[in-house]
Structure 1
Amino acid sequence: MVLADLGRRIRNAIGKLGQATVINEEELNAMLKEVCSALIESDVNVRLVKQLRESVRKAIDFEEMAGGVNKRRLIQRSVFQELLKLVDPGVAPYQPVKGKANVIMFVGLQGAGKTTTCTKMAYYYQKKGWKTCLVCADTFRAGAFDQLKQNATKARIPFYGSYSEVDPVIIAANGVEKFKRDGFELIVVDTSGRHKQEAALFEEMLQVSNAIKPDNVIFVMDASIGQACEAQARAFKNCVDIGSVIITKLDGHAKGGGALSAVATTHSSIIFIGTGEHIDDFELFKVKPFLQKLLGMGDIQGLVEKVSEMGLEDNEELIKRLKQGFEFYSLFRTPPSLTILVHEIVGG
């Protein structure tokens, strides 16, 4: 099931507690069975699902529970906290520093959408006022430079590459040096995609890393491989220090939940997720807001950030009301574009 379906099933399972006249062990087990079944169908590792179930059961002790306690709310909070743990690697995400050269090296398997994701990240920061650029050090795949060149030109992002030089280490080093000299703040370096068993390509990746000394190495991962993401992430980590992960194709694959939870077990921070083919189908990954949105709880902070991007940040009253979580129907007195945005964020 795609992530939206996963969120719907978990939300419905928890929602059934609200219809129960009595909240007891039987109702708890029925809810947990549905939640766990949904997670397993989304390719979340069975061991992790079992751990979630046992943790919730341990937190909810009906015999020890005081009489006036809201059992329904306690169970909901416990499930939410355990779901957070499932996708939270417990590692602070890397954040580039504006005003200095941040060299970001992209690595990943062939077909994961690495080159497209490089452009998406450069475009994301460009929209926020950063001076960004792209370097194509992928000399292995035919047409790699043409693809990056086309993407960069369309997004109006400066790029560097070569049709004559075959050594990716030289291309990467020259490109980074040029853009540093020109005062660029975010230098995104695309490298050759590889398979887990290709030792020569892993050696090349290490050489590129040693040459450009990146501030962050990002592993681009395809959500469609589900919990297999864990083995792939570990294979890359053994070769070069992976700082962050971006998961692509989360919009249409059944194994998205498995991919997210698998990455969390490697303690690599997920910094962005790809949610579509377009250049702006690219979201900053924040665990709590992501889960809130997945479960239909809305994302107030995300809405505040979107309002700022739309140039409405001067409307102090609107920002204040958003942060306080006011009734959403009052938004119909605001611009239509913002009303549409609210429906998008809360899944309406």
Structure 2
Amino acid sequence: IFFSKDTTMVLAELGSKITRALATMKNSTVLDEQVIDDMLKEIQRALLESDVNVRMVLSLRENVKKKISADDAGGYNKRKLVQQAVFSELKRLVDPGHKPYQPKRKQTNVIMFVGLQGAGKTTTVTKYALYYQKKGWKTGVVCADTFRAGAYDQLKQNATKAKLKFYGDYTETDPVLIAAGGVEHFKKEGCELIIVDTSGRHKQEASLLDEMEQVAKTIKPDDIVFVMDSSIGQAAQAQADAFQKKVEVGSVIMTKFDGHAKGGGALSAVAATGAPIIFLGTGEHFDDLEVFSAQSFVSRLLGFGDVEGLVDKIKSAGIDSQSDLYKRFTEGDFTLRDMYEHLQNVIKLGPMGKFMDMLPGLPQGMMKGKEKESTQHLKVFMTMMDSMTDFELDHGQVKKVMNPSRINRIARGSGRSVAEVNDLLKAYTKFEEMVKKVGKMRFKQMAKDPSAMMRGNQMAQLAKAIDPNVLKQMGGYGGLQNMMKQFSASGLDKML
């Protein structure tokens, strides 16, 4: 028996349970064997409830105890050692220990996608191709799925929307011939990345599994990517085994990781295939594909943030932290035009919840369920600012400038209400106050030296500048202190 029958715990809940167990251990007056045992039992229980393979859980417990007993550190150092041991073992659960295939530029890379029916394989093929195309790769997608009605139309429509090269044959019924023809076609066109989509299947469908094996033998892919629905729970182990027996799975992409994923099934399946996870599908849109890093995944799971992912996201969004906008921020200057540019950058980073989850020290799922609403709210603000004049956007004293006549004109021009324009101005005022306070506090220097925040009333000023509801979700004043410490320790300060 590898899996529990009822698995409803999401990753955020798993992370919070493990974090609480570690916090209880760290806060204990005396760190003896009983305290460590209690902590490990709590972590064990959390992992089992989250559907993690029983043998893997037992292995994690034994390995942590071995690492602790092998070191004679005491006090604070031992607490740190225990935390590091838990982190290391959790990372090992999702990292088989070898690197996935890396497509190479200026040569042909054939990638074959396999997976279960309903796992989101065809959409993931599009996401994967688009990810590389945006990086300048010449890509092509091949529809070799002749089993599912509508597969050809779906991939062709996706390819058209994403502006990808597409190959398929509506009348041919042999997927092996289509796959071979598509690979040959795109090789002649000089494509660097050729992605072959195959029929979705179940473990029991022997004929389809044999077909998959024949396709692999014919096109000889450089990598076989197994697309797995992260919420399938106890079926993951058997399904992964069935695929691995027929073809050599080289990489895994986990789909539906946007808030309701069952982490245990995903972890166990990766161990079963021995293949590393390369991406996480985090939504329905073609851009909702995140590069997977075991280090970042476990770090985010335990509330340590994902600095590596955050830095990559900022870079890929083309946001320059050294721009005039952010230099003005540090000087305490902030106009409506600055706010507009800042909102553009925030939207570039994608859903607010995912961005917030990457920040060290903030609780997971802080914005859960509010991502679309928050993004739409920002876009409404920008629409209203589009109806402002240069004089209004650049004036340093917005309160004095924005009289009823101007507010009415902006409301009419943007198709919004006067009340909404006033909401925008209130939000601007709060943001301006925070920027001025942070500017006076020399935020750059504080981020590089967290101890500077603890002196005088610097931290109190920062706390006052944050919305009370947000501060409460962060864990109050203590949570803010913890976040700033982790912010500095993570190296994010180097981006300022």
- TM-score in terms of structure 2 length: 0.63
| Cα 1:192–1:67 shift into 2, 3 Å | closer
Select 1:224's aligned residue among 207, 227, 231: 231
Cα contact 1:104–1:215 (8 A) shared by 2: yes
Counterpart residue number, 2:25: 17
Between 1:302-311 and 1:94-103, the stretch displaced more is 302-311
Q: 1:342 to 1:196 in 2, by over 3 A?
A: closer
> Could you tell me which amino acid in structure 1 is paired with residue 26 of structure 2?
G
Q: Among residues 243, 253, 256, which one is paired with 2:250 in the alignment?
A: 243
1:22-44 deviations in whole A, cap 9, x for unaligned? 22222212211211111111110
Q: How far apart are residue 68 of structure 1 and its match?
A: 5.8
Corresponding position of 2:84: 77
Name the counterpart of 2:190. 183
After superposing the two structures, state which structure 1 stretch, 338-347 or 243-252, moved more. Answer: 338-347
Which residue of 267, 273, 285 maps to 1:260?
Answer: 267
Q: Residue deviations 1:101-159, cap 9 Å, x none?
A: 11111111111111111111011111111111211010111011111112111111111
Secondary structure in structure 1 of the residue aligned to 2:232: helix
Q: Give the Cα–Cα distance (whole angstroms) in 1 for the partners of residues 249 and 226 of structure 2.
A: 7
Tell me the secondary structure at the aligned position of residue 136 of structure 1.
strand
The farther-off stretch of 152-161 and 262-271 is 262-271
Deviation per residue, 1:220-255 (Å, 9 max, x gap): 111122353232222112111211111112234452
Is the counterpart of residue 47 in structure 1 residue 55 in structure 2? yes
**1:151-162 aligned within 5 A:** 151-162=158-169
Contact kept? 2:64, 2:86, Cα under 8 Å? yes
- Give the letter for the 1:255 counterpart: K
Q: Indicate yes or no: 2:110 matched with 1:97.
A: no
User: Counterpart of 2:257 in 1: which secondary structure?
Assistant: coil
Cα pair 1:135 1:176 within 8 Å, conserved: yes
Asked whether the 8 Å contact 1:113–1:220 carries over to 2, the reply is yes
User: In 2, Cα distance between the equivalents of 1:139 and 1:67?
Assistant: 63
Distance 1:114 1:226 in 2: 18
Q: 1:39 to 1:128 in 2, by over 3 A?
A: same
Which of 180, 205, 216 is the equivalent residue of 1:198?
205
Instruction: Report deviation, 1:19.
Output: 2.5
Task: Write the distance in 2 (CA, Å) between the matches of 1:40 and 1:314.
Answer: 42
Q: Distance in 1 between matches of 2:301 and 2:355?
A: 14
1:343 aligns to what? Answer: 356
Classify the secondary structure of the residue corresponding to 1:166. coil
Q: CA deviation at 1:271?
A: 1.1
Quote the Cα distance in structure 1 between the aligned partners of 2:315 and 2:32: 45
* Native 8 Å contact 2:305 2:357 kept in 1: no
- Whether contact under 8 Å (2:60, 2:89) holds in the other structure is yes
Q: Is the 8 A contact 1:2 1:251 kept in 2?
A: no
Is residue 127 from structure 1 mapped to residue 140 from structure 2 by the alignment? no
Segments of 5+ residues of structure 1 without an aligned counterpart are 317-331
Change (3 A) 1:164 1:294: same
Counterpart of 1:287 in structure 2 is: 294
| Counterpart position of 2:118 | 111
Contact 1:226-1:262 within 8 A present in 2 as well: no
Aligned pair 1:60/2:68, yes or no? yes
Do 1:298 and 1:345's aligned partners in 2 also have CA atoms closer than 8 Å? yes
- Check 1:50–1:235 CA distance in 2 against 1; reply closer, same or farther (3 A cut): same
Tell me the distance in 1 between the aligned counterparts of 2:189 and 2:74: 68
Identity %: 60
Distance 2:204 2:74 in 1: 59
> Which structure: larger Rg?
2
Structure 1 or 2: more helix by fraction: 2
> For residues 55-92 of structure 1, what are the alpha-carbon distances to aligned partners after superposition, in whole Å with 9 as ceiling and x for unaligned?
22222239x73456622111111111111111111121
In structure 2, do the counterparts of structure 1 residues 286 and 18 end up closer, same or farther at CA, with 3 Å as the change threshold? same
1:168 counterpart residue number: 175
1:269 aligns with 2:276: yes
Q: Cα distance, 1:275 vs. partner?
A: 1.7
Read off the aligned partner of 2:57 and give its amino acid letter: V
Contact residue 279 and residue 292 of structure 2 kept, 8 A: yes
In structure 2, what residue type is equivalent to 1:21? T
Instruction: Rate the CA distance shift 1:14–1:255 in 2: closer, same or farther, 3 A.
Output: same
TM alignment of 1:282-321, pairs within 5 A: 282-312=289-319, 315=322
The answer to whether the 8 A contact 1:274-1:281 is kept is yes
